[in-house]
Structure 1
Amino acid sequence: MDAAAEQIAEKIIQSAERGRPLRIRGGGTKDFYGQQLHGELLDARLLAGVVSHEPSELVVTVRGGTRLRDLEALLAESNQCLPFEPPRFGVAGTVGGMVAAGLSGPARASAGALRDYVLGVQILNGRGELLTFGGQVMKNVAGYDASRLMAGSLGTLGVIVEVSLKVLPVPPAEATLLFELSETSARQQLNRWAGQPLPLNASCWADGQLAVRLRGARAAVASACQSMGGQRLDDERAERQWQALRDQALPFFRLAPGEALWRASVPDTATPLNLGPTLVEWHGAQRWLRLPPAWAPRVREAAARAGGHATLFRGGDGSVPVFTPLHEPLARIHQRLKAEFDPAGIFGQGRMGF
């Protein structure tokens, strides 16, 4: 354990002995996400730096406090990327925060989620112990895959010291096509395209317009453009639009007073929720809604009826649960895992609602 990790471990041990809550934080770009922030700040940015990058093996290992933008710049030098396009929400975001938030961007439906690319982690648990899970290769595991368990844990299980990630080459060709369609027609068309050998990578529907991004071999993208039709968007403008979607910088995400941003995760075949202003991603599986927090029962009922669930992603006032309450068996599993990793209960108290 190096000096930075030892310093953090000592603070964890002291806090556990005194029963003093800690709030693990990297760049703070996702402080808005979760039920509440509570506890003394534990700055994880001390744990920064690239441990190794093997371009030929498509693996990178970095410290948790490394800035995400620095990692992406490093990968770009080898024409590689993080295919799941993690939201950044600013320049200060860290790799540890990226994993802890567990969020994926526009390409998630085609490229997979963040957790699918986590190969291994080192963490400091609630006892100040340095634990290693996984490694630098994909392999079958029995029981819990604890490295991927860190994805979406929001700093409630431990401090991410180091993480190994699978990366991929940047696709050689890309194109964005626009179509004027209703929400229902857009969903039906995306489902039809999904059954064809097309290089679909991302989609976004809002205000009667569907944008579809194609990525892959040049011949495949060119052929898809001819067969799908639509209007091709200028490449530079398309890049700006997809990056704005990734970081929620599009006009749709500007909340009016009293509004909150809801994220509904539903099957991509689900019919429209018909609750208000909507932006649809992930070929229909992720739907963003702008509605007041008090609409929680209606939003969650509609999402459940469609076979999914809803999260109060941004703009809550603390009175409404951010996450859909877990059923009792699953809640018990969460509580037992929390007790195993953090027996004193000092990490992220209340961040996930328990």
Structure 2
Amino acid sequence: MQAIVEQFRNQVLAAVEAGTPLRVRGGGTKDWYGNAPAAAPHAAVLDTRAYAGVVDYEPTELVITVRCGTPLAEVEALLAANGQMLAFEPPRFGPASTMGGVAASGLAGPRRASAGGVRDFVLGAKLMDGKGEVLSFGGQVMKNVAGYDVSRLLAGSMGTLGLILEVSLKVLPLPVCEATLRFEASEIDALRRLNEWAGQPLPVSGSCWHQGVLTLRLSGAEAAVRAALARMGAAAGTADGTAAGARVEDAEAAAFWAGLRDQSHGYFGGGALWRLSVPPAASAIILKGEQLIEWGGAQRWLKVDAAVSAEAAQDIRRTVAAAGGHATLFRAEDKRPGAFHPLAPAVAKINQRLKQAFDPAGIFNPGRL
């Protein structure tokens, strides 16, 4: 494996000398995410897939260390065989998804609101910077905090700070018991109930509202799930007098949550897709298009049919900002309005300084983030 690292280093140094951008790429399942890289036709691809494999995994320690090219499917199969999981449920977007892409994209699935995001589970990382040097941050145990913030910073960095060679992640046991309920509810009623449930000791691990139906997943100890089912799915109705939830058959429920996680659910097909991040307590956001709500109200998807103009993007972002959040143009054929919500000047300056420190020649995925 050291020979592969040397190949990476040689490619980085050659790119710096020639002033050629590098496009860091694993399985390519998230090529569409973020902005189109600047100078894309002239960029050389730095393919990470050869640098694969599990470096260290001790189930009793609840930590796994993997190389960047390791397939996500391989890691999840290994964890599942030991009754464990990546609790943030990274979207797979296909079998070619790699762990480097999981860390660099920072994307999480339905369990994000209850378990945490990618950076909450990163314990350590190794990074090759723009000078070809390998830097180590954090560690493989939860009590080791040296460099902890830097390793977490890499989550969601979109490969703009360097090549993530390895990442150490905290893992969690699979839930002993899971159950899914469905309720008929308007958007306003769904948001109200989600916020009420968030303040109660309920084992909620996933939520979704779409087209008048609120779907809720319960995960945890069998006693906790049964108690929640008795409270929320009783035939006589719920404690607040609203209609009771109907239990969803396990296989159907598993397919539903996998569809949300991997965005294979029918909602995600066609049109331009916006990801709206707002406080969970924010009221309904009035925008033209079809919405789907996740994460207890904190993540709201907006699908629009028309091409996204600069004016339309500005209106969407202004409306979401007024609700205390930000808007990302997640999927679209034309991302000229910019994929990401403009940063505050002070935050943008910090980002620029970080980029300069890790990648002074500006060769890694320029313009992607």
* TM-score (normalizing by structure 2): 0.93
Q: Distance in 2 between matches of 1:306 and 1:139?
A: 37
CA-CA distance at 1:30 after TM superposition: 0.3
1:268 aligns with 2:280: yes
Do the aligned partners of residues 313 and 79 (structure 1) sit closer, same or farther apart at CA in structure 2, a change above 3 Å counting? same
Residues 1:309 and 2:353 are matched in the alignment: no
- 2:355 equivalent in structure 1: 338
Cα distance between partner residues in 1 of 2:207 and 2:148? 32
Cα distance in 1 for residues equivalent to 2:144 and 2:349: 26
Structure 1's 300 and 262: CA in aligned 2 closer, same or farther, altered over 3 A?
A: same
RMSD after superposition: 1.2
Equivalent residue for 1:133, pick from 137, 142, 149? 137
Partners of 2:139 and 2:146 within 8 A in 1: no
Distance 2:207 2:111 in 1: 8
Q: 1:201 aligns with which of 192, 205, 209?
A: 205
Deviation at 1:302, TM superposition (A): 1.2
Aligned to 1:350: 367
1:94 equivalent among 92, 98, 107: 98
What is the aligned partner in structure 1 of residue 254 from structure 2?
A: 239
Q: Which amino acid aligns with 1:30?
A: K
Counterpart code for 1:280: I
Aligned match of 2:302: 289
1:78-157 matches, within 5 Å, as 78-139=82-143, 141=145, 145-157=149-161
Match of 1:46, SS state, is coil
Instruction: State the secondary structure of the residue aligned to 2:303.
Output: strand
The letter for the 2-side match of 1:310 is: A
Higher mean displacement: 329-338 or 133-142: 133-142
Structure 1: gaps of 5 or more residues: none
Note the C-alpha offset of 1:18.
1.2
Partners of 1:137 and 1:322 in 2: CA distance: 35
Q: Which AA in structure 2 matches 1:248?
A: Q
| Matched pairs, number | 349
* TM-score, scaled relative to structure 1: 0.96
Q: Does 1:277 align with 2:308?
A: no
Corresponding letter in the other structure for 1:197: P
Q: Secondary structure at the residue paired with 1:6?
A: helix
Query: Residues 213-232 of structure 1: CA distance to partner in whole angstroms, max 9, x if unpaired?
Result: 00000010011001012100
Matched residues in 1 for 2:148 and 2:62: separation? Answer: 24
Structure 2 unpaired stretches of 5+: 234-244
Which residue is equivalent to 1:175? 179
The aligned residue for residue 45 of structure 1 is 49
CA distance in 2, matches of 1:218, 1:162: 36
Q: Secondary structure at the match of 2:218?
A: strand
Q: Residue by residue, what CA displacement relative to the aligned partner does 1:145-203 show, whole Å, maximum 9, x if unpaired?
A: 11011100001011111110000000100000000000110010111111111101110
| Equivalent-residue separation in structure 2 for 1:349 and 1:231 (angstroms) | 49
Matching of residue 3 in structure 1 with residue 14 in structure 2: no
Matched letter for residue 239 of structure 1: A
**Change in CA separation of 1:236 and 1:113 when aligned onto 2, cut-off 3 Å:** same
TM-superposed CA distance for 1:48, in Å, is 0.2
Is 1:249 matched with 2:261?
A: no
Letter in 2 for 1:267: P
Q: Could you say what secondary structure the match of 1:52 adopts?
A: strand
**Alignment match, 2:237:** none
Which one-letter code corresponds to 2:11 in the other structure?
A: K
Give distance in 2, aligned partners of 1:290 and 1:297: 16
SS of residue matched to 2:49: helix
Deviates more, 1:294-303 or 1:4-13: 294-303
Q: Secondary structure at the match of 1:271?
A: coil
What are the superposed Cα offsets for residues 290-334 of structure 1, whole Å, 9 maximum, x if unpaired? 124222112101110110000000014132111011111111100
